[in-house]
Chains A and B, each alone.
Chain A
């Protein structure tokens, strides 16, 4: 199974009631897989006429209390931003998978991490957040799906799973099993027909003075809870490190190799891997910066997450960057070279 198929099966196991999507490379295996498996399970698959329609179909299914998802790649995710903003305003749960490719524009179909800003800053309009998960292996991609649905339901938010073309296409052995999910609040807000109760309304328009401010502050409280409770991050040999390399997703796998080789050469190197990109592991990185060490951020872009690392480090330590944009994938040697140069180790 490739990553794309594995994430699709994992979503089915997690209780996804409906999948809506529009074809785009490098995630075409997701709709293809769903078109076969969802009807087998008696669930819903619709190939939409566009990503605009797909995200609004998710909106409709979610408004009735169903678990719904879509998947796409960068240009399609741009079209979904309107819907994500409306989902956020209406506080509807949704799971969106972005198997990123190179951009801007039509870009290319090579793996990329160029949508970090769009994902973590909210590419749509208005004052909102989405939870963003950045898995770095097919197993983690699989494990992200039930978590994404649970987080979406618990906080009534959009959860974006930010993968890339390598993860989507990669074949790795995975364990697919149903795990016990979180205790979730009842969906008493859902539109089910007002049988024996008052009318439910799902909306994002708040015209009276102060009404939207109130909603925004309610959202802020919710986002603070997410920041407090849901940060996921992995780190390795940071305590004695002279240099800490920060990377997520597939880039983090390459970094891991480079850091191990650096250690073999006697360089005190470690790494930090954010798994939730929002909420960002600001605390962990800030703590690591309490002792003087160099931070190197590696991304498959010209530098996006590096800004969050700088915000976390708050000037306590130097933060440097190495990136490969436009579908370029950094090699272990390239990163090792950076580590050597920054720690003033000549090439051996």
Chain B
């Protein structure tokens, strides 16, 4: 007798992926799709895709979605949620999008306590444009624009956005997770689900889950090596766990 032990969740579309082998975006998409289906909120959810490798997130997630200018998802989310308090609004953003060009927008959405859910994918580089330095790039990490490795003196230290946002009264839940192992992926799913739950309950403020995510292509490593590097190096600068809420 055959038994189904794993199947695609309906909100995840059945299509080939454009992501590189070992990229974390595909895993994060699946977690979001599963959560939307488990919470049964597909018919009231609106997602916001960033500019970055995940710009085509709507090709994978079968919910109403918008694609917006680089870094502006929290402002767009504000416009959506304020005019549609009954809808569930989430933004999905990379570290260039959220921590660099959109730093003002995320800070002020958090500051105003917008009732939105933010999924923040930190892969320590700008993936889409060819692996340049991000604010979250590690010290000594070689990227397309730090050929000698990032130096604190010249480019500053990796920016810890979650710690920063956790200081704001307007944020209610901030957690940092990782996609480095099955156990960590499970924890990530739990965290993102909690962030959606809070919005469903009408909790008064912004929730964000930072997800440390591998980019084997621009870390110039095999997918397995990338997972190890993430776990051994990134988590030292970006410690996992609940920062708030």
Contact = CB atoms under 8 A, between A and B. Distances in A.
A199 B83 contact: no
B62 interface: yes
Nearest to A63: B66
Contacts of B65: 191, 199-202
Main secondary structure of the interface of A (DSSP, over half): mixed
B64 interface: yes
B177 interface: no
* B contact face: mostly helix, strand, loop, or mixed: helix
A25 interface: no
Given A63-B66, A64-B87, A56 B72 contact: yes
A48 interface: yes
A194 B10 CA distance: 13
A61 B64 contact: no
A50 B45 CA distance: 27
Contacts of B66: 59-60, 63, 90, 191, 201-203
Interface string A65-105: 01010000000000000110010001000000000000000
B221 interface: no
B46 to A, nearest CB: 5
Interface in B68-116: 68-69, 72, 75-80, 82-84, 87-88, 104-105, 107-108, 111-112
Nearest to A47: B112
A142 B14 CA distance: 51
Contacts of B75: 48, 52-54, 56-57, 59-60
Given A46-B82, A49-B108, A193 B44 contact: yes
A86 B87 CA distance: 23
Interface in A16-48: 17-18, 20, 44, 46, 48
A118 interface: no
A44 B80 CA distance: 11
B76 A194 contact: no
A185 interface: no
Given A194-B43, A205-B55, A199 B78 contact: no
B67 interface: yes
Given A18-B79, A20-B79, A59-B79, A195 B69 contact: no
Contact of B58 (A17, A46, A63, A199): A199
* Residue with the greatest number of chain A CB neighbours at <10 A, chosen from B42, B68, B112: B68
A60 B78 contact: yes
Interface string B44-66: 11101000000110100011111
Interface in B1-58: 42-46, 48, 55-56, 58
Contacts of A68: 79, 83
Interface string A111-136: 00000000000000000000000000
Interface of B: 42-46, 48, 55-56, 58, 62-69, 72, 75-80, 82-84, 87-88, 104-105, 107-108, 111-112
Interface of A: 17-18, 20, 44, 46, 48-50, 52-54, 56-64, 66, 68, 82-83, 86, 90, 191-196, 199-205
